[in-house]
């Protein structure tokens, strides 16, 4: 049942309805509705924003202020999926699907300016593909200024941004462009990459930037949630496979260059590393940390689970993705290149990862390539068309050979206002080299989707 307007979510929306006008009226800068400093807008102004910059804020701090924002997404899907199961029968029968609307998804954003250059963000998933009930995605505090006197601190914070909390880890650039439940306005396409490197983890990061160059060091707990439970050894049939029960932190490094080198030319190059040598809690979730779900619903998913029971929709919430399952140990590198000249945008991604789970002795590898070409036009670049090619290859646990997944997507959209987006996509995705006993053997889905998005 759609719980978008029920229970806790209904109370939150009521709060939004009654508080928002009061908050807006209380601000001296009505145009920006009490916006925080050093912040990425949730509307069209947030396109192609990666990390927040250090441009001095023009909105004077006159005391704490609160901004309430939201993202809403409603989608219609007309996709067909198939595999090599004859007449879609037998143990590899796929989840039957037909054209229809997906449950609407919604996010709630609270941004609080606590002090000059210090802001707090809390994001809540009100309704998503994976969880219809409200879930807190995470929250963090961001320092672009420090309340310490002295030339050293002023000079440091001219180039530094410090974030601490339970937050989206800054590995790679793809996560800045992906759809995140109700907040799908930044993404010109419908879905994230096939290997979706996205996770929310507890930790902190220091980001330095000057004259277009940037670098970052972050440490996190490596897990989607905190845990103080004792860790267990990795065992298979009574045999100890992995006796290491250390719960090591994840280390994330990032560096690159991002600059408007000419009036109509912006260039960005970045490289990222995610490293964790041992995590024995609830497991690493770099490629499985999304709690919202895929925007491709129930495509190439098995009809029944291993026990023979029909799978619930939430159990197949990540359709179209490939998770290599590196839950014990992982080393991942992502290289990104972004270029915008006039209305033309090019984004390229290369990713390689190596790791294993705690019941494996040997490490496995996975690689991914992706390329986006998007052209924006109109008086305010409010129209766009685009194409994406994405391919992933991985060694999966229990499969002897490499498997491959390829996707081609064509998209177009129109910003009716800076807050309202209509977009559509035609997509073809194919699964290759999966064993004949696997439901993804000969798998393919194709068709179109239409999506309406509101962000403010």
Could you tell me the domains of the chain? 7-455 (2.40.160.10)
SS (H, E, C) 126-175: EECCCCCCCEEEEEEEEECCCCCCCHHHHHHHCCEEEEEEEEECCCCCHH
Regions of the chain where pLDDT drops below 70: 1-33, 230, 281-282
- What's the token pair of residue 444? 């393919």
Distance of alpha carbon 112 from alpha carbon 329, whole angstroms: 36
Q: Which residues contact 112 (CB under 8 A, 6 or more apart)?
A: 36, 64, 65, 66, 67, 119, 120, 121
Length of the chain: 456
Q: Is 201 helix (H, G, I), strand (E, B) or coil?
A: strand
Q: What is the pLDDT of residue 308?
A: 80
Block residue for tokens 């979510």 = 9
DSSP for 329-372, please give it.
Answer: EEEEEEEEEEEEETTEEEEEEEEEEEEE-TT-SS-EEEEEEEEE
- What's the token pair of residue 418? 């800076």
Q: Strand ranges (DSSP E) for 83-134?
A: 100-101, 105-115, 118-127
Q: Which residues contact 178 (CB under 8 A, 6 or more apart)?
A: 186, 187, 192, 193, 196, 198
Closest CA to 424 of 448, 400, 441, 406: 448
Cα four-point dihedral sign 219, 225, 230, 233: negative
388 to 85, 271, 410: CA distances (angstroms): 29, 21, 7
Block residue for tokens 């994330």 = 252
Q: What is the pLDDT of residue 56?
A: 81
Distance of alpha carbon 400 from alpha carbon 438, whole angstroms: 12
Judge contact between 329 and 276, C-beta under 8 A. Answer: yes
- What's the token pair of residue 131? 């969880």
423 to 84, 376, 394, 451: CA distances (angstroms): 32, 13, 31, 5
Q: Which residues contact 24 (CB under 8 A, 6 or more apart)?
A: 30, 33, 34
Based on its alpha-carbon atoms, the radius of gyration of the chain, rounded to whole angstroms, reads 22
Q: What is the pLDDT of residue 369?
A: 98
Cα four-point dihedral sign 29, 32, 34, 40: negative
Q: What angle do CA 263, 265, 267 make, to 5 degrees?
A: 135
Closest CA to 281 of 326, 218, 323, 222: 222
Phi, psi of 415 (to 5 degrees): -80, 105
Cα four-point dihedral sign 337, 341, 342, 343: negative
Phi, psi of 387 (to 5 degrees): -140, 145
Q: What is the pLDDT of residue 16?
A: 41
Distance of alpha carbon 207 from alpha carbon 35, whole angstroms: 22
């Amino acid at each position: 049942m759609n719980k978008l307007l029920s229970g806790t979510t209904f109370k939150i929306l009521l709060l939004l309805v009654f508080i928002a006008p009061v908050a807006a009226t209380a601000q001296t800068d009505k145009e920006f509705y009490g916006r925080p400093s050093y912040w990425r807008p949730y509307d069209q102004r947030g396109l192609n924003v990666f990390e927040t910059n250090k441009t001095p804020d023009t909105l004077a701090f006159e005391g704490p202020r609160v901004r309430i924002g939201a993202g809403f997404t409603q989608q219609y899907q007309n996709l067909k999926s198939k595999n090599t199961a004859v007449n879609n029968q037998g143990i590899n029968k796929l989840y039957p699907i037909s054209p229809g609307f997906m449950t609407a998804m919604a996010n709630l954003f609270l941004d609080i300016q606590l002090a000059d250059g210090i802001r707090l963000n809390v994001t809540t998933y009100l309704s998503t593909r994976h969880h219809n009930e409200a879930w807190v995605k995470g929250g963090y505090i961001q320092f672009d200024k420090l309340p310490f006197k002295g030339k050293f601190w002023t000079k440091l914070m001219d180039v530094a941004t410090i974030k601490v909390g339970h937050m989206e880890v800054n590995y790679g650039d793809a996560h800045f462009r992906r759809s995140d439940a109700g907040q799908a306005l930044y993404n010109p396409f419908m879905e994230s990459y096939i290997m979706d490197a996205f996770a929310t983890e507890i930790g902190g990061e220091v980001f330095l930037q000057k004259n277009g160059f940037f670098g970052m060091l972050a440490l996190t707990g490596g897990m989607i949630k905190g845990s103080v439970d004792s860790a267990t050894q990795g065992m298979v049939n009574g045999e100890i496979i992995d006796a290491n029960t250390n719960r090591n932190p994840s280390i994330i490094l990032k560096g690159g260059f991002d600059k408007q080198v000419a009036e109509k030319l912006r260039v960005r190059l970045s490289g990222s590393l995610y490293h964790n040598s041992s995590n024995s809690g609830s497991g690493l979730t770099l490629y499985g940390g999304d709690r919202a779900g895929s925007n491709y619903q129930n495509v190439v998913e098995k009809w029944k689970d291993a026990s023979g029971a029909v799978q619930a929709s939430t159990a197949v919430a990540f359709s179209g993705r490939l998770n290599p399952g590196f839950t014990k140990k992982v080393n991942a590198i992502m290289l990104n290149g972004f270029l915008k000249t006039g209305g033309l945008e090019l984004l390229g991604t290369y990713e390689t990862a190596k790791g294993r789970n705690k019941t494996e002795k040997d490490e496995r590898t996975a690689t991914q390539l992706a390329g986006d070409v998007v052209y924006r036009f109109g008086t305010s670049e409010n129209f766009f068309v685009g194409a994406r090619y994405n391919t992933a290859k991985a060694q999966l646990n229990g499969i002897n050979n490499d498997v491959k997944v390829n996707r081609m997507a064509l998209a177009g959209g129109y910003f009716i206002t800076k807050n309202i987006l209509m977009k559509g996509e035609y997509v073809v995705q194919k699964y290759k080299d999966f064993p004949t006993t696997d439901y993804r053997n000969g798998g393919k889905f194709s068709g179109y989707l239409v999506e309406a998005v509101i962000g403010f």
